[in-house]
Amino acid sequence: MPHELPKAYEPGAIETRWAEYWVKEKLFHVETPAPGETRPVFTLLLPPPNVTGRLHMGHMLNQTQMDILVRWHRMCGFITLWLPGTDHAGIATQMMVERQLAKEGKRRREMGREKFVERVWEWKREYGGAILDQMKRLGASVDWGREYFTMDENLSRAVREVFVRLYEQGLIYRGKYIVNWCPRCETAISDLEVKHEDVAGKLWEIRYRVAGTNDFITVATTRPETMLGDTAVAVNAADERYTHLHGKHVLLPLMKREIPIILDEIAKPEFGTGAVKITPAHDPNDFEAGKRHNLPQIDVMDLHARMNENAGTYKGLDRYEAREAVLTDLKEQGFLVAEKDYTVPLGKCDRCGTVVEPRLSEQWFVKIGPLAKKAIAVVESGEITITPENYKQIYLNWMYNIHDWCVSRQLWWGHRIPAWTCGSCGEVTVAREAPDRCPKCNSPKPEQVTDVLDTWFSSGLLPFTTLGWPEKTRDQAAFYPTTLLITAYEILFFWVARMIMFGCHFMEGHEQDAAIKKASGCAEKKNDSVPFRNVYIHALVRDAERQKMSKTKGNVLDPLEVIDRFGTDATRFTLAAMAAPGTDIAFNESRTDGYRAFANKIWNAARFMFMNVDRIAPDLRPVLDGRGARPSTSCGVAGFLAQTLEDRWILSRFNRATRDTNDAIATYRFHEAANRIYDFFWGEFCDWYIELIKPRLMESADTARAGCANLVNLFDGALRLLHPVMPFITEEIWHAVYAGAPPLKSIALAPYPAADDAQIDLAAETQMAVLQDLIVSLRNLRAELKVEPKVKVPIQVFAHEPEIRRVIEENRGAVERLGNVEGVVFVEASLAKIAGARSTARFDVHVVYERKIDVAAEIERLKKDLEKTEKQLATAQTRLGDQQFLKKAPPHVVEGLRQQVEELKIVKEKILAKLKELGEAGTT
């Protein structure tokens, strides 16, 4: 049974194959934990992408981070549930299907509601799974057996239940309200769905005649067409300019209507003329002022933002046509005082870009105060943590100032509001099922309200509705609260805040299974009603120039294209390695190319290893221990026997890398985890250990076999360490390590390496550092002397201490082989004065090679070295002079720094001596 791996590393083929395998084998499916379960649980809800969506870099980053955490927890022995699904995305989906219909020359309204909704379902069945298929390509290890859609029957029933309960609790009400209205989408949209933009526009000053006088009051507006709906002019009571007009009326131009002059704080004396027009039906602030003064609300536009019958002769005109007509008439009649350039703040519909019109309409609201109170408390108390921490305050500030939430949308696609209107008496009944008769007048068949609910209403319920709510299920006991939510800042309020409000309200009194809670490390958390215990807000992915990606700029990177070119593993690695918390990611493909080279390096190392194993011990398999155990004291490389210096060293380095990686993943420092694994796998394992062990593979059968055993066992550990970040290549090689018959179905089910501090061997690390230093010095010296690669050269070494000499002597073979040296001669005196020699704090080394030294170049090089050394010395000395630092730093750090200063002083002396020897003037 040879260990097979194709010659070339081709990520495309490998990745597609394993992605299919993981799904087919249902590897990530999680059964409901039985009562008495004592393993810890890790639960994560995938922020459901829109069913219309296509994967973008934000998803890719988000899912990479989630998958790293999920795979890591799973390998650490947690019962790990990652719940996937899609959102029905009301307005986005409706518009998508409308566009499709337009191509066929059909219109939604002509089709009728029922047919249209059926058509959307058809669309969903055909195309709705696209984004989930793309997720499979990323290797996202979700439980596909639990996939949901926000309009599934059970979730829809839960939505109705929530609505009815809130209504019964007095937390849902119906009211006239000024809403943001999109005349294109014909629906109310929430504040969060309005994009604000400042544009160059005009401010018009209009004067209104004070009734019965020749006096005028001047007001200013950027939307003159709304004056047709004015029902008052406000001045400030403290504004002495208008004291004589208190209690009077003005005559509204064009409409010839008398409207009162009111006293209200909305008028600011320091702003403009100090007088403002009040249009309660078309401006949110005026709406509030109107309510304070019981003013009539005159709506002058229809739902398409065309003027209606209340606009008199302007009826039928579009709002912008009306604006022109009104201005012309005001001018002709002498009411237009001035026209000034002005920066106008415009609100646009997030979906279609149409300018939003504030509009009075009948809507459904959630009374948010009582819900917000609990959602504030759980974050203030730390029952929910938010990382990075600055988002906690942003969240709280928003919650302190939250307004009632308008949840009705005038769409056809979505959860229809469970309310019915009586055709006879107008009574509105909110109920779980359609009532047969009006409960008030007993008329038959009340009509269901046509509005649907805001999409965020149903997605705000997902943490518990996906676990079977309103029934009390075993899933809920085990998996609620979820452990973590990873999401983007832009949906902190849309989604995160609402999940917290709904969770705390509807799951109040819920208790997580005590044993599972304790095992999961949450025993000290008192409140189990929260939808998740931790929130992690991830960064934005920008382009290589740090510009935000946007369609208009044309700098949007399609993650699937990047994957096609470099592989999923390399793309995931890039996103992980660049994801330092709190900073956006400037995605640079050259980095991805570099990480593809990393994968290639691992591939080639595996092939080298397999070649030797098949030659020496084809039956050799790694020893996989600690299966299914939580992080234990096992070093994660059972079967590794440390016999030589390089063995002790690599085992020590592996345990360090393991400790650092585990710490980094646990605290969402994905970049540190990725970089640490990279440095270990490439920089230490491939570059040094494999090189150092090669001669042993050529020795007697037993020695060679032992060497092979160390290689495969360590390789197995390193693959498991890397697996959460690069799941595909690690799965492929891991199966090959076991010659196609691994002890588990997947490396994803194997235990994650846990660090064993007892394996950290400082002596071995110090000794290896001497050898590495010496070999790197030799390579540099050879390069400077331009020694032909095939020529081996003798060297002279002066060791500063007997211990250093012993290490070099004992590893003479490695030095000769890796430094391309023939003959090491130890001398008893410093070599520092010899031109071309290299001096460190531990040794001096000189390559004996006949070549005329270029004195000028040598002086140049030494000066550079001197400068660098002096800089390092200064930095270290500054730190040692810093009292703050000395107070805080651990003693071994301070001691290390002192030692570094001593060593740097020695190096500096040596450089100076050499410069003097070369006759460089001015050096002392």
Which residues contact Zn ion (rule: CB under 5 A)? Answer: 182, 184-185, 349, 351-352, 354, 422, 424-425, 427, 438, 440-441, 443
Residues in the chain: 924
Nearer to Zn ion (CB atom), residue 184 or residue 518: 184
Cβ distance to Zn ion smaller for residue 147 or 427? 427
Q: Is the separation of the CB atoms in 367 and 170 below 8 Å?
A: yes
Instruction: Please state, as a whole number, how many other Cβ atoms lie within 10 Å of the Cβ of residue 590.
Output: 8
**DSSP readout, 845-884?**
EEE-------HHHHHHHHHHHHHHHHHHHHHHHHHHT-HH
Q: First-to-last CA distance in the chain?
A: 68
Nearer to Zn ion, 343 or 450 (CB): 450
Sequence-distant (6+) residues with CB within 8 A of 108 are 94, 98, 101, 116, 412
Other C-beta atoms within 10 Å of 454: how many?
Answer: 29
- Residue nearer to Zn ion on the CB measure, 16 or 354: 354
CB of 305 to Zn ion, least distance (A): 11
Spatial separation of the C-alpha atoms in residues 512 and 79, rounded to whole Å: 15
Query: Cα dihedral sign for 598, 604, 607, 608?
Result: negative
**Residue 96 or residue 155: which is nearer to Zn ion going by CB?**
96
2 sits in the region (left: phi over 0; alpha: psi -120 to 50; else beta) called: beta
Least distance from Zn ion to the Cβ atom of residue 52, Å = 15
Six token digits for residue 864: 């550079």
**CB of residue 91 vs Zn ion: minimum separation in angstroms?**
8
Of 718, 155, 715, which is closest to residue 463 (Cα–Cα)?
155
Smallest distance from Zn ion to CB 424, Å: 5
Q: Residue 722 CB, nearest distance to Zn ion (Å)?
A: 47
Nearest to 61 by CA among 603, 838, 584: 584
Nearer to Zn ion, 184 or 805 (CB): 184
- Min dist. Cβ of residue 150 to Zn ion (A): 21
Task: In angstroms, give the least distance from the CB of 390 to Zn ion.
Answer: 32
Residue with tokens 């270990």: 680
Interatomic CA distance for residues 331 and 341, integer angstroms: 17
Q: Give the shortest CB-92-to-Zn ion separation in angstroms.
A: 11
Task: State which amino acid sits at residue 611.
Answer: M
For Zn ion, give the closer residue by CB, 52 or 869. Answer: 52
User: CB of 287: closest distance to Zn ion in angstroms?
Assistant: 21
Other residues' Cβ atoms within 10 Å of the Cβ of residue 59: 22
Going by C-beta distance under 8 Å and a sequence separation of 6 or more, which residues neighbour residue 636? 626, 654, 658, 717, 720, 721, 751, 752, 753, 754, 755, 756
Nearest to residue 223, comparing CAs of 324, 311, 316, 304? Answer: 324
In whole angstroms, give the CA distance from residue 301 to residue 298: 9
Measured from the CB of residue 89, what is the shortest distance to Zn ion in angstroms?
A: 14
Least distance from Zn ion to the Cβ atom of residue 412, Å: 15
DSSP string, 732-753: HHHHHHTTT--SSS-GGGSPPP
How many angstroms separate the CA atoms of 433 and 446, rounded? 12
Secondary structure of residue 689 in the 3-state scheme: helix
Specify the residue, 409 or 782, whose C-beta has the smaller distance to Zn ion. Answer: 409
Q: Which residues contact 109 (CB under 8 A, 6 or more apart)?
A: none
Nearer to Zn ion, 421 or 772 (CB): 421
Pick the closer one to Zn ion by CB: 422 or 807: 422
Please report, for the chain, how many H helices and E strands are present, in that order: 30, 29
Distance, CA of 535 to CA of 383 (rounded, Å):
11
Of the candidates 126, 122, 44, which has an alpha carbon nearest to the alpha carbon of residue 85? Answer: 44
Q: Considering the complex, state which of residue 438 and residue 677 has its C-beta at the smaller distance from Zn ion.
A: 438
Closer residue to Zn ion in complex, CB, 427/917: 427
Whichever of 227 and 356 has its CB closer to Zn ion, that residue is 356
User: Is 865 in contact with 911 (CB distance < 8 Å)?
Assistant: yes
**CB-wise, 90 or 139, nearer to Zn ion?**
90
Least spacing, CB of residue 446 vs Zn ion, in Å: 7
For residue 70, give both structure tokens: 């999920």
Output the smallest distance, CB 423 to Zn ion, in A.
Answer: 8
For the CB of residue 164, give the shortest distance to Zn ion in the complex, in Å.
19
- Pseudo-torsion of CA 738, 744, 747, 750, nearest 10°? -120
Decide whether 353 or 382 has the Cβ nearer to Zn ion. Answer: 353
Least distance to Zn ion, CB of residue 436, Å = 12
Complex with Zn ion: residue 33 or 347, whichever CB lies closer: 347
> Residue 793 in contact with residue 822, Cβ under 8 Å?
yes
State the burial class of residue 766 (Cβ atoms within 10 Å of its Cβ: 0-12, 13-18, 19+).
Answer: middle
**What's the half-sphere exposure (Cβ side, CA atoms, 13 Å) at 67?**
31
CB of 187 to Zn ion, least distance (A): 7
**Structure token digits, residue 803:** 């211990």
CB of 392 to Zn ion, least distance (A): 33
Rounded Cα–Cα distance for residues 187 and 285 (Å): 21
Strand, helix or coil for residue 800 = coil
Q: Environment class of residue 628 by beta-carbon count within 10 Å: exposed (0-12), middle (13-18) or buried (19+)? A: exposed
Helix axes 855-880, 891-917, angle to 10 degrees: 150
Least Å distance between CB 492 and Zn ion? Answer: 23
Nearer to Zn ion by C-beta: 348 or 671? 348
Nearer to Zn ion, 40 or 446 (CB): 446
